[in-house]
Amino acid sequence: MVLQGLVRDYMIEDVFTVKPEDNVLKTIRTIVEGIDQLPVIDDKGQLVGMITWRDISEKVILKDQIPNEVKVKEVMETKIITLSPRDPVRKALRLLTVRKFSLPVVENRKLIGLLSFMDVLKPYLDAVSTH
């Protein structure tokens, strides 16, 4: 089976997000539920950053800051690698192998989904296991 298709064929559209003005405690509660990172979007739905458990650990917890007093915008990453829904899934897979986290899928600056390594591999693994 050859890996083919576009990012839009594999991405997840139902995505948890946070706002730059949210406090980090809210983010921690969401991340604890098994999500490795969260897109940060503004009021227009535009992606302005990403926040990970590592960001929170290094910039809040290890610095003895109080999570409900720190805003997401103070610790989020703003240099983000994004994908277009029209990108070939092979390109996305190369980026995912290097990045190690899900990648946001953006169209017209608006977040429309996320793509993880497993989102790409699951259909392939399902097809292989049925043979």
pLDDT band with cut points at 50, 70 and 90 for residue 4: confident
Q: Is the full-model pTM beyond 0.85?
A: yes
DSSP of the chain: ----SBGGGT-B-----B-TTSBHHHHHHHHHTT-SEEEEE-TTSBEEEEEEHHHHIIIIITTT--GGGSBHHHH-B-----B-TTSBHHHHHHHHHHH-S-EEEEETTEEEEEE-HHHHHHHHHHHHHT-
User: Residues 71-86: what's their mean pLDDT?
Assistant: 96
Domains belonging to the chain, first-starting first, are 7-129 (3.10.580.10)
Please determine, for residue 1, whether its predicted confidence score (pLDDT) is greater than 60. Answer: no
State the pLDDT confidence band at 91, using cuts at 50, 70 and 90.
very high
Average pLDDT, the chain: 90
